[in-house]
């Protein structure tokens, strides 16, 4: 674990290099491809708003299964919180910089992508959250869940790998963590007492409606505001300590 923590390269570096090299042989860098990938990476609303829209539409359906449906949607929120919480525990110990920052990998990318990556890119939080949301819709709308899972890989994960923001292992780890977190929350939600509590929580008061609005806003916006607030808190804590 400590060897991984202090390594400037990702877990399984040769495998990651091979996959990246294969990707760029199939889709070599060009001005058009780089622009499209950068567009999806930098413009959250171009790729993430549909997840918030799908969540909102399913939440607002009024029928005999409204309480059950909303309980499943609340499970998605709980699974996201669990998954992100797990990453916050191990990120100080298991981390590595993005490939655009690492000699030996950065040469795979055009020079204008160099130095733009995150110094701690493991795992891909964008993949984690949006794939989890998409997979969580499976009991509600299977065709919609499959479509959103495919889109998460194509317009969220792939552009970030293509521009040097993430390694393939970052994506794989995010997918596995999303599945495990969703499974754990769904297992807990199967307990009659927890299921009943979630269904009671689905009848939101004004406070709950406000929290739902904030969740949908952040989901549509790629959690940019949350990241900014969290960064301010971290910097303030560092100054105090």
**103-154 pLDDT per residue, tens:** 999 999 999 999 888 889 999 999 999 999 999 999 999 999 999 999 999 9
Find the domain containing 106 and state its range: 2-240
Give the global pTM: 0.89
**39-49 pLDDT per residue, tens:** 999 887 788 99
Judged against a pLDDT cut of 60, whether residue 229 lies above it is answered with no
Which of 12-16, 181-185, 222-226 has the lowest average pLDDT? 222-226
Predicted confidence band of residue 204 (pLDDT cuts 50, 70, 90): low
Tell me the average pLDDT across 89-94: 84
Q: What would the two tokens of residue 120 be?
A: 């701690």
Structural domain count of the chain: 1
Give the model's pLDDT for residue 193.
Answer: 83
CATH number at residue 232: 1.20.144
CB 176 within 8 A of CB 75: no
Residues 6 or more apart from 74 whose CB is under 8 A from it? 198, 201, 202
């Amino acid at each position: 674990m400590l060897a991984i923590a202090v390594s400037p390269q990702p877990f399984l570096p040769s495998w990651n290099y091979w996959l990246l090299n294969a990707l760029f042989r199939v889709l070599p860098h060009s001005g058009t491809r780089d622009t499209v990938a950068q567009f999806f990476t930098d413009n959250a609303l171009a790729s993430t708003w549909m997840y918030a829209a799908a969540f909102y539409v399913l939440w607002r359906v009024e029928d005999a299964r409204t309480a059950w449906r909303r309980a499943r949607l609340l499970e998605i929120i709980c699974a996201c919180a669990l998954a992100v919480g797990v990453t916050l525990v191990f990120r100080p110990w298991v981390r590595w910089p993005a490939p655009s920052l690492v000699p030996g990998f950065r040469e795979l990318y055009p020079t204008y992508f160099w130095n733009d990556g995150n110094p701690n890119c493991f795992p891909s939080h964008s993949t984690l959250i949006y794939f989890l949301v998409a997979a969580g819709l499976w009991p509600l709308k299977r065709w919609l869940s499959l479509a959103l899972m495919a889109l998460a890989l194509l317009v969220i994960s792939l552009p970030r790998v293509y521009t040097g923001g993430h390694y393939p292992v970052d994506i794989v780890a995010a997918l596995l963590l999303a599945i495990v977190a969703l499974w754990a929350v769904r297992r807990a939600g199967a307990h009659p007492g927890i299921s009943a509590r979630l269904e009671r929580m689905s009848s939101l008061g004004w406070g709950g409606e406000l929290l739902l609005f904030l969740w949908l806003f952040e989901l549509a916006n790629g959690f940019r505001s949350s990241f900014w607030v969290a960064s301010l808190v971290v910097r303030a804590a560092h100054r105090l300590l």
